[in-house]
């Protein structure tokens, strides 16, 4: 079973995405502290990461770039999930190494379909 790490500073958003993933047959791990992402990846070994962009202390663009540049984490698909929905945001996400981009609000089907591409 694919494990998905959900990273968002909003606990409500984490719980909502976890509910969708759990119903879709995925195992999910939620994280609301972006400073603990590397530690959590090392402990949980997710197959996919859902990553919010707008977070305090570390934004998703930064985290994505750091993960993709790290030999231990670089091969894990990162899906950016954000309310920032301009073409420049999506382009910048690609430039940071993101494998996909989902704009909020999204449908459960949209989330599951995107995760399924990396399963």
Give the model confidence (pLDDT) of 82-115 as tens digits: 998 889 999 999 999 999 999 999 999 999 999 9
pLDDT on residue 62: 96
| CB 23 within 8 Å of CB 34 | no
Strands ordered across the beta sheet of 100-103: 27-31, 3-7, 48-52, 78-82, 100-103
| CB 27 within 8 Å of CB 3 | yes
Give the model confidence (pLDDT) of 19-60 as tens digits: 999 999 999 999 999 999 999 999 999 999 999 999 998 999
Q: Domain of 81: which CATH number?
A: 3.40.50.2300
Burial class of residue 27, CB neighbours in 10 A (0-12, 13-18, 19+): middle
| CB 96 within 8 Å of CB 69 | no
Distance between CA atoms of residues 43 and 40, nearest Å: 5
- Determine the structural domain holding residue 68 and report its residue range: 3-116
pLDDT on residue 36: 96
Q: How many domains does the chain have?
A: 1
């Amino acid at each position: 079973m694919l494990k998905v790490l959900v990273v968002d500073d909003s606990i409500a958003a984490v719980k909502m995405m976890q509910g969708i993933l759990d119903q879709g047959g995925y195992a999910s791990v939620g994280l609301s502290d972006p400073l603990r992402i590397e530690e959590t990846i090392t402990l949980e070994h997710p197959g996919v990461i859902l990553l919010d962009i707008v977070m305090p202390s570390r934004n998703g663009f930064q985290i994505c770039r750091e993960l993709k540049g790290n030999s231990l984490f670089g091969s894990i698909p990162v899906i950016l999930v954000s309310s920032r929905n301009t073409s420049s945001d999506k382009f910048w996400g690609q430039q940071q190494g993101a494998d996909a981009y989902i704009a909020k609000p999204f449908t459960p089907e949209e989330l599951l379909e995107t995760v399924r591409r990396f399963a």
